[in-house]
Amino acid sequence: MALNRTDVEKIAHLARLQIEESDVQAYADNLSNILDLVDQMQSVDTTDVSPLAHPLDAVQRLRADVVTEENQREALQSAAPAVENGLFLVPKVIE
């Protein structure tokens, strides 16, 4: 499928792209080459080709949900300037 100058200008307008007048023909040629490649790939016979893996078929290995560290709240909050009921107190930043 060959694109011409008006096709490229229309595509550029729809995509809100500004293309220099001197570059329009180069864009038309490049886009035509891409569309020709897509046509070639669509014409390939894939009847005996099995599908490749699908991301939704994958099974994710999960680790066991086990506590590996003990609670260190007091040690971590010991350096804080202000703590109340196990929470860090910070200055109000939103009115």
Contact (CB, 8 A) for 6 and 12 = no
Nearest alpha carbon to residue 75 among 66, 86, 90, 84 = 86
Per-residue pLDDT of the chain (95 residues), as tens digits, is 789 999 999 999 999 999 999 999 999 999 999 999 999 999 999 999 888 877 777 777 888 999 999 999 999 999 999 999 999 999 989 87
Which residue is listed with tokens 């939103």? 94
Give the start-to-end residue ranges of the domains of the chain.
5-42
- The pLDDT value given to residue 76: 93
Which CATH number does 5-42 carry?
1.10.20
Q: What is the pLDDT of residue 58?
A: 74
pTM of the entire predicted model: 0.50
